[in-house]
């Protein structure tokens, strides 16, 4: 059923693409045929556990999900890139030889950043047209930007027959967001989108990008995302400040411990953590405490996943939220309210804020049979308190970004 919905979405996107091409071309003979189109399915991601650990070279358990950016495109034999967003009802055009930051259409910068990164690494790219549609919420903490980046990267790799190692693709997309868009994200989002595997989660070590697939059979349960409708723009939040604080803490601890080989907060052990409490500013100690204890929670979660113990996994999620709330200080009143209410609701194993924080969504593990009651109860309470209804999004685990042929069955 889901495969049919995906194919139907691409069919509609292809029709939209041809309509846009015809409207934007004086010579209709230049319009390509359907066989010339490359269709890319690029998923979002949810992070089960391990938040703000990626740029601290720590651990996480993450996965791609069945909410997607749908991308279709073809070469146009010029040096012009023309992009259409069906989802945003917007379009943009620029030269491949003159890629500059766009102050008016921020979504285009994610595409431009990826192209510039490939060009800087010596790959030959020409002009092309592409269209995008999506059922992946923007700003909800489900990595819509990483999904777009990896999807565009895969599209140009297919269009121009580029042979790129998948880990390099992840790095190029991450560089694009950091260096071109200006948001200092870690590698987790792009890695999850590129390496996702259906019915599995990814246990990922950011120190060396080693990873392991862990089967995760939800059985009678599901992943329920609750979007607080609190929009955030990472570039305008304290996200970058948290990264700076972590870097400050590494330098400080390196001096305290007289260890010049300390490269990240993930080099700090639990025992070492509590030796440091009275030797550094409280603000920095709290940031270190979150990262160190979060890495430990990832290890516990891996153990519970391998045992199939969802109840204990759920408790770790609640503990993670408390750490993000009080030690890393990236939560908000809405996110705290949702997690607190879920902790009191029948059929909920666990929940926590997901993504960078400062708005967005929470992730929870719930019983399928209780979903209707959960959404009704929590939704009504949230509406009464904040005068807005949250969105409830149930998810399955998905393969990573891939080319999809519409003749596939």
Residues in the chain predicted with pLDDT less than 70, given as ranges, are 1, 25-31, 233-237, 407-409
| Catalytically annotated residue among 54, 189, 227, 327 | 189
- Beta-carbon count within 10 A of 28 CB: 8
Give the chain as a 3 state SS string.
CHHHHHHHHHHHHHHHHHHHHHHHCCCHHHCCCHHHCEEEEEEEEEEEECCCCHHHCCEEEEEEEEEEEEEEEEECCCCEEEEEECCCCEEEEEECCCCCCCCCCHHHHHHHHHHHHHHHCCCCCCCEEEEEEECCCCCCCCCHHHHHHHHHHHHHHHHCCCCCCHHHHHHHHHHHHHHHHCCCCCCHHHHHHHHCCCCEEEEEECCCCEEEEEECCCCCEEEEEEEEEECCCHHHCCHHHHHHHHHHHHHHHHHHCCCCCCCCHHHCCHHHHHHCCCCCCHHHHHHHHHHHHHHHHHHHHHHHHHHCCHHHHHHHHHHHHHHHHHCCCCCCHHHHHHHHHHHCCCCEEEEEEECCCCCEEEEEEEEHHHHHHHHHHHHHHHHHHHCCCCEEEEECECCCCEECCCCCC
- Beta-carbon count within 10 A of 403 CB: 14
- Beta-carbon count within 10 A of 356 CB: 22
Buried (b) or exposed (e) across 176-188, using 16+ Cβ within 10 A? bbbebbebbbbbb
Do residues 364 and 341 lie in contact, with contact meaning Cβ atoms separated by under 8 Å? no
Which pLDDT tens digit goes with each residue over 45-97? 999 999 999 999 999 999 999 999 999 999 999 999 999 999 999 999 999 99
pLDDT of residue 339: 98
Fold topology of 2-216+398-403: Ribosomal Protein S5; domain 2 (3.30.230)
**Cα 63 to Cα 43, 179, 398, distances in angstroms:** 10, 25, 8
Instruction: Give me the helix-helix angle, 310-326 and 282-307, nearest 10°.
Output: 170
- What is the chain's alpha carbon radius of gyration, rounded to the nearest angstrom? 22
Query: CATH 3.30.230.10 spans which residues of the chain?
Result: 2-216+398-403
End-to-end C-alpha distance for the chain, whole angstroms = 11
pLDDT of residue 30: 63
pLDDT of residue 227: 93
Here the tokens at position 316 are 């770790």
d(CA 118, CA 195): 19
Assess whether 189 carries a catalytic annotation.
Answer: yes
Q: Does domain 221-395 bear CATH number 3.30.70.890?
A: yes
d(CA 105, CA 94): 12
d(CA 84, CA 6): 19
Do residues 346 and 370 lie in contact, with contact meaning Cβ atoms separated by under 8 Å? yes
Beta strand 210-215 with 128-134: parallel, antiparallel or unpaired?
unpaired
Which pLDDT tens digit goes with each residue over 162-204? 999 999 999 999 999 999 998 878 899 999 999 999 999 999 9
């Amino acid at each position: 059923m889901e495969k049919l919905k995906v194919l139907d979405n691409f069919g509609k996107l292809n029709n939209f693409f041809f309509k846009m091409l015809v409207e934007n071309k004086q010579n209709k003979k230049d319009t390509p045929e359907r066989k010339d189109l490359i269709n890319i399915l690029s998923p979002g991601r949810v992070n089960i556990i391990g938040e703000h650990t990626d740029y601290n070279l720590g651990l996480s358990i993450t996965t791609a999900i069945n909410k997607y950016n749908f991308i279709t495109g073809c070469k146009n034999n010029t040096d012009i890139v023309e992009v259409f967003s069906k989802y945003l009802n917007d379009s943009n055009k620029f030269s491949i030889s003159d890629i500059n930051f766009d102050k008016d259409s921020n979504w285009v910068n994610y595409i431009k950043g990826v192209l510039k990164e490939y060009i800087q690494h010596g790959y030959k790219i020409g002009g092309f047209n592409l269209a995008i549609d999506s059922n992946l919420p923007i700003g909800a903490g489900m990595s819509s930007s990483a999904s777009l980046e990896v999807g565009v990267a895969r599209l140009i790799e297919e269009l121009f027959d580029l042979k790129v190692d998948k880990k390099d693709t992840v790095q190029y997309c991450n560089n694009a967001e950091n260096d071109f868009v200006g948001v200092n994200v870690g590698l987790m989002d792009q890695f999850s989108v590129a390496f996702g595997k259906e019915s599995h989660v990814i246990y990922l070590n950011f120190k060396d990008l080693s990873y392991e697939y862990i089967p995760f059979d939800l059985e009678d349960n599901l992943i329920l995302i609750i979007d607080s409708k609190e929009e955030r723009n990472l570039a305008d939040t304290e996200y970058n400040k948290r990264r700076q604080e972590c870097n400050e803490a590494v330098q400080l601890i390196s001096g305290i411990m007289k260890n010049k080989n300390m490269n990240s907060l993930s080099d700090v052990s639990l025992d070492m953590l509590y030796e440091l409490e009275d030797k550094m500013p409280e603000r920095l100690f709290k940031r270190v405490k979150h990262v160190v204890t979060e890495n430990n929670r990832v290890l516990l979660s891996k153990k519970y996943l391998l045992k199939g113990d969802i109840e204990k996994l759920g408790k770790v999620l609640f503990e993670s939220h408390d750490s993000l709330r009080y030690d890393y200080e990236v939560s908000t009143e809405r996110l705290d309210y949702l997690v607190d209410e879920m902790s009191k609701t029948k059929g909920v194993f666990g929940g926590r804020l997901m993504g960078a924080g400062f708005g967005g969504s929470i992730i929870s593990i719930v019983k399928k049979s209780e979903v209707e009651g959960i959404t009704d109860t929590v939704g009504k309470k949230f509406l009464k308190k904040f005068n807005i209804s949250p969105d409830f999004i149930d998810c399955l685990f998905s393969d990573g970004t891939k080319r999809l042929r519409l003749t596939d069955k």
